[in-house]
Amino acid sequence: MAHFAKLNASDIVERVEPIDNSVAPDEAAGIAFMRSLYGEGTEWVQTSYGGSFRKNFAGPGDRYDRARNAFIAPQNYPSWTLDEATCRWVSPAGPKPSPAHEWNEELQAWRLP
């Protein structure tokens, strides 16, 4: 199964559509198919469910960064920075210690609720 992200004029993902690999054996064929359904003026970019290319699987609201050739989620908090290797946002305090922890932007620390 191939997946294609529809971009708006600001390169923000509006939707992600799956396409059978027989219809989209490569990106160009997938884009042509999506444009036949949604209009020639629409912008589509293939995304990888496993993140094997373009860093991350696209989701609505994500931005396609053409320079990095990557999909990037919205920034979680103002203090978080983008990890260039993964194109994911990271906290200044490191990874989340456990699923129960929540980020406290004022303290810039992970806290238990």
The pLDDT tens digits for 7-65 are 999 999 999 999 999 999 999 999 999 999 999 999 999 999 888 999 999 999 999 99
d(CA 75, CA 61): 11
d(CA 16, CA 45): 9
The pLDDT tens digits for 86-105 are 999 999 999 999 999 999 99
